[in-house]
Amino acid sequence: MGQKVYINGEFFDKEDAKISVYDHGLLYGDGVFEGIRAYNGKVFRCEQHVDRLYESARAIALKIPMSKQELNDAIHEALRTNGLDDAYIRLVVTRGVGTLGLDPTKCHSPQVIIIVDTILLYPEYYYEKGLEVVTVPTVRNHHNALNPKIKSLNYLNNILAKIEALQAGVIEAIMLNKDGFVAECTGDNIFIVSDGNLITPASHAGILVGITRGVVMELAEEAGIKSVEQELTRFDLYVADECFLTGTAAEIIPVIRIDSRDIGDGKPGPITCQLLKMFRDETKDKR
């Protein structure tokens, strides 16, 4: 059976799932999105993702033309329709068709799109051996320009950083904010382990407040590991005992080198491995 894409209540074959070239999502990146995982037919932290989508939409004055419950039902229907148990679900809400001008009030019907697919962000190798990353020159968006809390369709800030990482020969970048403090990666949040505690930048550092980040903090609490939100400099990264990234697609991935410096002893650390195991058990629970 071919893949089916949900657009505004209807399912289309992948090849026929199309929206207008006048959609402001395409013309201006005017819209919001979510990436969600399903593990064995259960949508992981669905409510939190739906809540964040609605918050992103409110922040850009975009009214999603259905209730949270209706959207929740549509997500589950899309999962069933595609017959996938383990899946990556991409929810997209665009501003809809408008004129060639910016004015969003000329767009009268937001498009709600649900794509159900699979994703492998990083090969398994990196989960065992760890990832090398670099800090990059592109500064994370300032919260008064485009708040990184908004998961908008405009990801150019992140893409520019990704290009810089690739140019440096690695596959992920650490972005700093305009004050030089660590913010996040292009599609993941960042944690370090120092003296047995987890440290991660606070929301005001200019980050997307990741749902996986929240799950990791819950798991840490369960394991009796303290987690704190604190400003981090590159120095703090370089002298950390361990480092890892979190995200819906990546889950938890160890980082073993930053800007050519080994982190800890250059191998995935014990707390990272413990949390990765707990995370996998937590998602297996949903199986």
Q: How far is the CB of 9 from ligand PMP (least distance, A)?
A: 26
Beta carbons within 8 Å of 228's beta carbon, 6+ residues apart: 197, 198, 199, 200
- Whether 149 is catalytic is no
Q: How far is the CB of 78 from ligand PMP (least distance, A)?
A: 18
Expressed in angstroms, the distance from the first to the final Cα of the chain is 23
> Can you say whether the dihedral through the CA atoms of 118, 136, 236, 209 is positive or negative?
negative
Residue 228 CB: number of other CB atoms within 10 A? 11
Q: Which of 5, 46, 176, 208 binds ligand PMP (CB under 6 A)?
A: 208
* 31 is a contact residue toward ligand PMP (CB under 6 A): no
The CB-nearest residue to ligand PMP is: 210
Q: How far is the CB of 184 from ligand PMP (least distance, A)?
A: 5
Count how many Cα atoms sit within 13 Å of the Cα of residue 250 in the half-sphere of its side chain: 26
- Contact region with ligand PMP (CB under 6 A), list: 59-67, 84-92, 197-205, 209-217: 209-217
Q: How far is the CB of 7 from ligand PMP (least distance, A)?
A: 22
Pick the catalytic residue: 129, 151, 226, 286? 151
Among residues 18 and 204, whose Cβ is nearest to ligand PMP? Answer: 204
Among residues 211 and 217, whose Cβ is nearest to ligand PMP? Answer: 211
> Pairing between strand 189-194 and 242-247?
antiparallel
Q: Which of 79, 89, 133, 211 binds ligand PMP (CB under 6 A)?
A: 211
Site string for ligand PMP, 156-195 (x = CB under 6 A): --x-------------------------x--xxx------
> Can you say whether the dihedral through the CA atoms of 210, 253, 169, 121 is positive or negative?
negative
Nearest alpha carbon to residue 191 among 225, 140, 143, 146: 225
Annotate 237-277 with three-state secondary structure: HHCCCEEEEEECCCEEEEEEEECCEECCCCCCCHHHHHHHH
Residues forming the site for ligand PMP (CB under 6 A): 35, 158, 184, 187-189, 208, 210-213, 246-248
The residues assigned a catalytic role are 151
